[in-house]
Chains A and B, each alone.
Chain A
Amino acid sequence: MGLLSVAIWLPIVAGAVLLALGRDAQANVVRWVALLAAIAGFLVTIPLITGFDTSTAALQFQEDLPWISRFNVRYHLGVDGISVWFVLLTAFTTVIVVIAGWEVITERVNQYMGAFLLLSGMLVGVFSAVDGLLFYVFFEATLIPMYIIIGVWGGPNRVYAAFKFFLYTLLGSLLMLVALVYLYIQSGGSFEILDWHKLPLDAHAQVLLFLAFFAAFAVKVPMWPVHTWLPDAHVEAPTGGSVVLAAIMLKLGAYGFLRFSMPIAPDASREWAAFIIALSLIAVIYIGLVALVQQDMKKLVAYSSIAHMGFVTLGFFIFNELGVSGGLVQMISHGFVSGAMFLCIGVLYDRVHSRDIAAYGGVVNTMPKFTAFAVLFAMANCGLPGTAGFVGEWMVILGAVQANFWIGLLAATALIFGAAYTLWMVKRVYFGAVANDHVRELTDINSREFLMLAILAAAVLWMGVYPKPFTDVMQVSVSELLKHVATSKLN
């Protein structure tokens, strides 16, 4: 059993055991088991990065077993420079989520922890599957725990949000399923993604495939105008759910563009690039403005996520190295930053039980330690140099200017909007005079909360100051991908 299999199945088995045997009477045991499983799941992914060979774009840590012989589906796992960091990010986020739910979740603890562990294993599976059907199975299966997480531990409108989340994303992925089956038939009976990369396809088929994949991934990213499920899901989900959604699940869509759309339908991708760029710019600018007027902190961060993901898709579809690696770096940094932002909101919500910006004011007076973290993450969210948020955005803007000055200019406005909505929120929530009695009675973060925020702060600063490990790993894979996309599949 290889490392990737362990990284997938260790959390899943632990989660299943918790679901089957956990009782609320022994909630503490459940919490510790979940934490140990999450940490173990993270530790096994570390050799993936330390042992990663950055000089090749080939798949590494491969495992290949026959799975469904009738359709020639293989249990084929492997990571390359594009996917390996996301495996780590997933396992890392799971540890944070378990810590974040430690005291907050008091009912059905085993189901909560179990659902997140299952989700973690499945998400690692999505990033490491190189068989199309295996990818799809993991991709879809993640909907089940997330649906339960939102619906059971969510806010007042949780049922609506859970349904919207499930059906919206299912709509897209079902179209992708037809595309996968079509590719299977066209390739003469192979579900290997790498075989599909080499498969010659005519222009018409490429466009249809591109649109089918677009339906799946655009909803997941989410891109404007199919983003409306995200604010609902984020607002209603419990803190841990929001963190995983923002940090990992949104990345599935962007990852899908790189793994499927671009290499399988390169000609269609180039043809439709202007369309994607236009949607991305709308996301960056229009959604940035939408974020500005939000009253609800979670909604604000949700819209900010859409704007940031717009940056990612923009970077991908300008087809240069800076853009694509910038998009990938942005994905990772957004994983840290948006996760941290949601955790901060969670910290406040646990104390005051309100997410309204208007319910706060002057939090710094009662929670100085917490505010220090919150401001740091807010700065990262608006892309301050020295934080993780800066690196990716800067690379994408550089790439965009290389491609077309005006695109670069429009993309750069995101920095202004990002700063505007984030800082305005920070000002209203954290600074100023103490607004009301709730804020006056706030207690600063305890050591558990300090720990989880400190880990994330370290990650955000590390990535902002020294992003080389991230870019080094992806460099060769990205340039291979771009070379592949530049080659036409039409003879």
Chain B
Amino acid sequence: MQTSNPNAMNWLVVYPEILLLVMACVITLVDLWVRDPARRPTFWLTQATLGVVAAMHLSYFDSGLTMYGMQAMVVTDPMGHLLAFFAAVAMIVSVAYAQHYLASREMLKGEFFTLSLFVYLGISVMVSANNFLVIYLGLELMSLSLYALTALRRDHAVATEAAMKYFVLGALASGFLLYGLSMMYGATGSLDLGEVFKAIGTGRINKEVLTFGIVFIIAGLAFKLGVVPFHMWVPDVYQGAPTAVTLLIGGAPKLAAFAISIRLLVEGMSGLAVDWQPMLVVLAVCSLLVGNLAAIAQTNLKRMLAYSTIAQMGFVLLGMSAGVVNGNTVSAGNAYSSAMFYIVTYVLTTLGTFGIIMYLSSQGFESEEVADLAGLARRSPWLAGVMTVFMFSLAGVPPMVGFYAKLSILQALVSTGLSAHIWLAVYAVMMSLIGAFYYLRVVKVMYFDAPAQTEPLVRSQGLSALLALNGAAVLFFGLLPGGLMNLCSDAILKALAS
């Protein structure tokens, strides 16, 4: 369903990106005149920008159209808009959680807002890319901003180490991805996703080059998603980065990584699914095992959540690997939309968990050990309740939204009808049983242990309300998940149809 001339510039398509770019520059300048240590003008300008962009994406999504712009370099389809919308919401929430945390550590400089906007710009470019180079540009824009953000705490050895590690490994992964893309370009003669798709479909392309290329592309994507064996950076970066930045890394960028996985693997190379699906299965199986087992051994909450992320991404990959069965793509929509639902709900939950870590941290005290949550149920029953909701959601226990995410992945696996996939589903649930242990341990620490500190928590009302809202959303989508599921499924079906 192509509604515009592919060679037109069609500026309308990139209005959100243009707005973002302009505002990122404006905010950098405005910040020079801000004296307020809480940086309220910058903060609100950033939030307003993200809010407007979110609204734009939502209205584009509502129109349900697929359009190409910038001479078919970018595409805007409902999937891209939905993911960009969720990413914008995730950014708004992340920045809101971050403000107080950073301000109390004297890290709240103008750069934080500008870089955050660039992160989001990168995400926005990635989700609407229709061309290898655009994907790469968006990815680099996002990654470079994140590297800089990780090093926001310049004089802190752990943070600097994390930033270095992130940068070196990230650059390597980008290299892999670029190398794989160049092979694809060499074999098919095009950078355009649609053209590549057609070229592969002809079956006249050298299969060896394609397979070779796809190995590198998968490796690059696996790094960005943080799955085993490309996961080494995840625990160190999650732990070392200031919590506010951890949230920026672990939240919205996951949506973008998912988007480019769909764009590259499905829209560009679904003809090679028989090659990349088994690779995803191997990555998923390893991630579920390593992520869950390693998380058990962690005492640092951020590090534990990092391993838990690795395991969760394993689930997403399982969903993506169930799309094409024996060369047949009937269940593709079902499988990819379940993966999308999974990642969206995962981001929603992750926002809350890191939000709580930041909420509990006070001046000079990073509440990042699991033991720091001890007795939270006595100090602040509602906060413990909200955290419990998040933990059970990550563990996949109903009636939290995480359960339906796991359910839809299982459903996608079983519906392929292959007995190998059914056993994969059994394996996945067994791994989530192991996962339940460390999530339960957090609940145990909050409810069963005596508090180490007894002074009541005093924090801003707004932050409390936002956290409560975040928890309520996880519970609400757990009681009525239908609407969100349908949104994801519509978006994917339209993306596949175009």
Contact = CB atoms under 8 A, between A and B. Distances in A.
A103 B417 CA distance: 56
Interface in A133-168: 133, 136-137, 140-141, 143-144, 147-148, 151-152, 158-159, 162-163, 166-167
Contacts of A128: none
A177 B430 CA distance: 11
Interface of A: 19-20, 66-71, 108, 111, 133, 136-137, 140-141, 143-144, 147-148, 151-152, 158-159, 162-163, 166-167, 170-171, 174-175, 177-178, 181-182, 184-185
A68 to B, nearest CB: 4
Main secondary structure of the interface of B (DSSP, over half): helix
Contacts of B410: 177-178, 181
A137 B399 contact: yes
A238 to B, nearest CB: 13
Interface of B: 377-378, 381-382, 385, 388, 392, 397-399, 403-404, 407-408, 410-411, 414-415, 417, 422, 425-426, 429-430, 432-433, 436-437, 440, 443-444, 447-448, 480-482, 485-486, 489
A163 B398 contact: no
Given A170-B397, A175-B426, 13 more contacts: A19-B381, A70-B482, A71-B485, A108-B381, A133-B407, A144-B397, A159-B444, A167-B437, A174-B429, A177-B410, A181-B410, A181-B414, A185-B415
Given A151-B444, A166-B440, A185-B411, A140 B425 contact: no
A108 B397 CA distance: 24
Contact of A151 (B378, B448, B482, B489): B448
A70 B411 CA distance: 11
Nearest to B485: A70
Contacts of B414: 178, 181-182, 184-185
B408 to A, nearest CB: 8
A141 B433 contact: no
Nearest to A23: B381
A453 to B, nearest CB: 30
Contacts of A184: 411, 414
A258 B482 CA distance: 30
Nearest to B441: A163
Q: Which residue among A69, A111, A174 has the maximum number of chain B CB atoms within 10 Å of its CB?
A: A174
Given A151-B444, A185-B415, A69 B398 contact: no
Contacts of B437: 163, 167
A166 B448 contact: no
B448 A178 contact: no
Nearest to B449: A159
Contact of A162 (B381, B436, B444): B444
Nearest to B478: A137
B140 to A, nearest CB: 36
Given A148-B447, A175-B429, A177-B429, A182 B485 contact: no
A163 B438 CA distance: 10
Contacts of B407: 71, 133, 177, 181
19 contacts: A19-B385, A68-B485, A70-B482, A111-B377, A137-B399, A140-B397, A140-B398, A144-B388, A144-B392, A159-B444, A162-B444, A162-B448, A166-B436, A167-B433, A167-B436, A174-B433, A178-B429, A181-B410, A181-B414
B486 A70 contact: yes
Nearest to B487: A70
A71 B485 CA distance: 9
B39 to A, nearest CB: 34
A5 to B, nearest CB: 14
Contacts of B480: 67
A152 B447 contact: yes
B169 to A, nearest CB: 34
A136 B398 contact: yes
B420 to A, nearest CB: 14
Given A178-B426, A181-B425, A71 B411 contact: yes
A176 B38 CA distance: 52
Can you list the 9 inter-chain pairs with the closest CB atoms, starting with the nearest? A174-B429, A137-B398, A68-B482, A151-B448, A70-B485, A181-B414, A185-B415, A140-B398, A181-B410
Contacts of B432: 174
Contacts of B426: 175, 178
A70 B436 contact: no
B403 A140 contact: yes
Nearest to B341: A70
Contacts of B429: 174-175, 177-178
A148 B446 CA distance: 10
A21 to B, nearest CB: 11
A229 to B, nearest CB: 14
A177 B403 CA distance: 11
Contacts of A159: 444, 448
